[in-house]
Amino acid sequence: MEWIYILLMALASSLMVIIYLVTKLYKVSEQLSIIEDSLVDIKKGNWNRRVLVNENDITKTICYSINDIAMKSQTQLIQLKQSEQAYKRLMTSLSHDVRTPLTSLVGYLEAVQKKFVTGKEKEEYLEIALNKAHHLKGFVEVLFDWVKLDAKEQVFKLEEQDINEFTRDILVNWIPTFEEEHFEYKIDISDKECFIRLDPNAYIRIVNNLIQNVIAHSEGTRIDLQISENEQNVMVQVSDNGKGISPNDLPHIFDRLYQSDESRSTNGNGLGLAIARELVHLHKGTIHAQNSLYGGTAFIVKLPKVL
Amino acid sequence: MTKYTIETKQLTKIYKDQKAVNNVNIHVKKGRIYGLLGRNGAGKTTIMKMILGLTSTSSGEVDVFGKNIKGREKQVYPRIGAIIETPGFYPNLTGTENLNIFAKLRGTSAPNAVKNALEIVGLPYKDKKLFGEYSLGMKQRLGIANAILHDPELLILDEPTNGLDPIGIAEVRDFIKKLSVERGKTILISSHILTEISLLADDIGIIDNGILLEENSMEELKRKNGKYILLQVSDAAKASLILERQFGLKSYSVKDDHTLQIYNNSLDMASVNKALILGDVSVISSQLCNDTLEDYFRKITGGDGIA
């Protein structure tokens, strides 16, 4: 009788194995149909679609790979779209930034040409028109710089420089402007030498753009320039006692062509800070702005001592 | 591909004799952040619950991912992440353990899903702290981590910044924005705080007493509610000359040959019009936009405002 017993046992266990396999198979086929659905969706362009799996599913690695591919394609697609949008924004913004001074320039010149103004007033109109034309020229130059920077065409040559001495040299040229614009200035730079590697032209641009920004936008009466150092970095700080920057705008001021509505179309072109940031990044440094508790804004450039 | 990720049609919810949600048609566009703005008890949460099937609809329909959700819940829910009110976690387990349970229940889209989700919301992985000991802000963060655990296409977040401190609010706002901008997620978010929504949302729906009062893109609302004067004239060049010479205007921009946007609202429009006409410039239209978003909401909600 024993063999019947054994046979039954074998039968029962093989039945169990079969049931187990069938359920497993059923589960896998269910998963495959989910995968198929998702792939159809992804193929249609929904790169956000994910296939969810459990820890011990057979299809786990396949699903994870599908998700990974979808995610990476999505990221690339979004980056492309973003640069496209940025380009469009640049174009609209540019057309405004060029159009406004140009229109008013035309206004002045027409008035002169049609002899609405004469004598001294005419001279004045011509001078204003010329100033506006210079301003536009400056804008176009800055714009080309930016485009070159953006396309990474400009070549940078880093050389050892005493940043303290070098900054002082740059600032000397600014003093007449400070006086003209009625800015009190305080310069706090150590006499000690502090050599770091930088591209002189780029560094001049960074400092100039930051100061230019203070003069054009801060509405302050005082500008402080300070250089300090620690073991790893040199910090260049340009601060003012002006109106400060609204917290809503603060995260965006280094984005190219970002200008808060009020400052739009007065002075500047919204490229200065973007260029400064780009140049700082080429020195592997960081730049940020913060509002001071006592009013005004501080721009802080941090450059690494060892590049 | 359908344009709308969520579309409700005449969605209505009646509690006893009160209409909590009254014929609401909202349209959440793919890849954008839709902000549902309204006071407490306006019906925001009820709408979200109906979209998620957490409460029955009295009448009307909900389409999610382009199809009616009825009967497709099982396929659709894994593609949505949500927090509605306080999320249910086990108080005697740590945050990581709680998320591990949800990961097992729902399945995951990538290895290390729990760790990644915690990283995004800024909570430590494998921390010893029990959920019961969490602060309100940490609980809220864990709720969001749970909502994004399976990398869903659509996020439905009911007042996600409730109970967070100001810095926490800014952080949460940032990563919600990031999820939309960098990962292309579609997000439906509710809040009773206007600034919150205006900083975050691409589209906005304003709901009051269960009725959707307005649905519009943020861009359009901001355009309608900026502080500026829009001036349409026969000759922008001449007009700009007059404005500069006679009114000392600096902050304006020229939109095209006939349109000027002036950012100085204190300008006396009557004398501007007069000066322009005397200067042989005909004024086609002048439009003063002086409302802030807040004024606007006060207007459409019948005087009471939002928050």
Residue B228, pLDDT > 70, answer: yes
Statement: residue A255 has pLDDT above 50: yes
Q: Are B11 and B25 in contact (CB under 8 A)?
A: yes
For chain A, which residues lie within 8 Å of any Cβ of chain B, measuring from their own Cβ? 37, 44-55, 57, 63-64, 67-68, 71, 74-75, 77-78, 82, 96, 99-100, 102-104, 106-108, 110-111, 248, 261-266
Chain A residues closer than 8 Å to B150 by CB = 50, 52
Residue B265: band (very low, low, confident or very high) from pLDDT cuts 50, 70, 90:
low
pLDDT of residue B34: 96
pLDDT of residue A262: 45
> How confident is the model over B31-47, as pLDDT tens digits?
999 999 988 888 999 99
Cα gap A66→A47, rounded to integer Å: 10
pLDDT attached to residue A57: 83
The string of pLDDT tens digits covering residues A35-84 is 998 999 899 888 889 998 888 888 889 999 999 999 999 989 888 887 78
Range with lowest mean pLDDT among A185-194, B71-80, B260-269: B260-269
- Looking at chain B, the whole-number percentage of residues with pLDDT higher than 90 is 34
pLDDT at A275: 81
Residue B128 token pair: 């010893």
Report which secondary-structure segment, H or E, holds A175: helix A175-180
The neighbouring-strand residues paired with A306 are none
Counting beta carbons within 10 angstroms of the beta carbon of residue A113, is it exposed (0 to 12), middle (13 to 18) or buried (19 or more)? exposed
**B255–A96: do the CB atoms touch at under 8 Å?**
yes
Q: What percent of chain B has pLDDT over 70?
A: 96
Three-class SS string for A188-238? Answer: ECCCCCCEEEECHHHHHHHHHHHHHHHHHHCCCCEEEEEEEECCCEEEEEE
Closest CA to B45 of B210, B163, B164, B168: B210
Tell me the nearest-neighbour CA distance from B108 into chain A, angstroms.
Answer: 5
H/E element, A124: helix A119-150
Distance of alpha carbon A290 from alpha carbon A276, whole angstroms: 16
Among chain B residues, the shortest Cα distance to A69 is held by B110
Of A23-27, B2-6, B26-30, the one with minimum mean pLDDT is B2-6
Chain A: give the shortest CA distance to residue B198, in Å.
11
Look at residue A266 and tell me whether its pLDDT is greater than 80: no
Predicted local confidence at residue A261, as pLDDT: 47
Q: Read off the pLDDT of residues A111-159 as tens digits, 9 standing for 90 and up.
A: 899 888 888 889 999 998 998 898 888 778 877 777 777 676 667 788 8
For chain B, the average pLDDT equals 87
Name the minimum distance, in Å, from the CA of A5 to any CA of chain B: 41
Taking CB atoms and an 8 Å cutoff, what residues of chain B touch A249? none
pLDDT band at B303 (very low <50, low <70, confident <90, very high): low
d(CA A26, CA A136): 72
Give me the domains of chain A, ranges plus CATH numbers. 2-77 (no CATH), 90-150 (1.10.287), 159-304 (3.30.565.10)
Q: Per-residue pLDDT for B267 more than 50?
A: yes
Q: Which two tokens stand for residue A35?
A: 């995968």
Q: In this structure, what token pair is assigned to residue B210?
A: 């269960």
Contact B240 A111 (CB under 8 A): no
Q: A50 in helix, strand or coil?
A: coil
Contact A107 B152 (CB under 8 A): no
In tens, the pLDDT along B185-197 reads 999 999 988 888 8
Q: How close does chain B come to A64, measured CA to CA in Å? A: 5
HSE of B206, CA atoms in CB hemisphere, 13 A: 21
pLDDT at residue B235 is higher than 50: yes
For the record, the structure tokens of B45 come out as: 């949460």
- pLDDT at residue A232 greater than cutoff 80: yes
Q: Which chain B residues are closer than 8 Å to A58 by Cβ?
A: none
Q: Which residue of A has its CA nearest to B236?
A: A103
Q: Per-residue pLDDT averaged across A283-305, rounded?
A: 87
Looking at CA atoms only, how far is residue A169 from chain B in angstroms?
A: 34
Residues of A in contact with B228 (CB under 8 A): 261
Structure tokens at B84: 């509605």
Mean pLDDT score of chain A, rounded to an integer?
84
pLDDT at residue A269 is higher than 60: no
Q: What is the distance between the alpha carbons of residues B159 and B169, in angstroms, rounded to a whole number? A: 11
- Give the start-end residues of each E strand in chain B: 4-15, 18-24, 27-29, 33-37, 59-64, 67-68, 80-83, 154-158, 186-191, 203-208, 211-217, 228-233, 252-256, 259-262, 283-289
The predicted structure's pLDDT at residue A260: 47
Name the pLDDT band for A17 (thresholds 50, 70, 90): very high
Q: Do B109 and A261 touch (CB under 8 A)?
A: no
Q: What is the ipTM of this complex?
A: 0.76
Contact at CB, B255 and A51, closer than 8 angstroms: no
How buried is B35 (Cβ within 10 angstroms: 0-12 exposed, 13-18 middle, 19+ buried)? buried
Could you tell me which chain A residue has the CA closest to the CA of B250?
A266
CB contact under 8 A, B239 and A46: no
Residue B70 distance to chain A (closest CA, Å): 18
* pLDDT number for residue A256: 61
A239/chain B closest Cα distance in angstroms: 25
Predicted pLDDT at A202: 85
Q: Are A233 and A284 in contact (CB under 8 A)?
A: no
Residue A241, pLDDT > 70, answer yes
SS3 state at B153: coil
- One-letter identity of residue B249: L
Residue B2 has pLDDT above 50, yes or no: yes
Best of B253, B260, B289 to disrupt the A interface by mutation (most A CBs within 10 Å)? B253
Exposure string over B266-289, b if 16+ CB within 10 A, otherwise e: ebeeeebeebbeebebebeebeee
Given a cut of 90, whether residue B48 has pLDDT beyond it is: yes
CA distance from start to end of chain B: 37
The reported pLDDT for the residue numbered A264 is 42
Residue that has been written with the tokens 């519009």 in this structure = B216
State whether A104 and B150 contact (CB < 8 Å): no
φ, ψ of residue A170 to 5 degrees: the values are -65, -40
Mean pLDDT throughout A200-209? 88
Average pLDDT over residues B56-85: 89
Average pLDDT over residues B132-140: 87
pLDDT of residue A93: 67
Selecting from A78, A107, A264 the residue whose C-beta is nearest the C-beta of B251 gives A264
Distance from C-alpha of B139 to C-alpha of B132, rounded to nearest angstrom: 9
How many pairs of residues across A and B have Cβ atoms under 8 Å apart? 109
- Radius of gyration for the alpha carbons in chain A, expressed in angstroms and rounded: 32
Spatial separation of the C-alpha atoms in residues B277 and A233, rounded to whole Å? 61
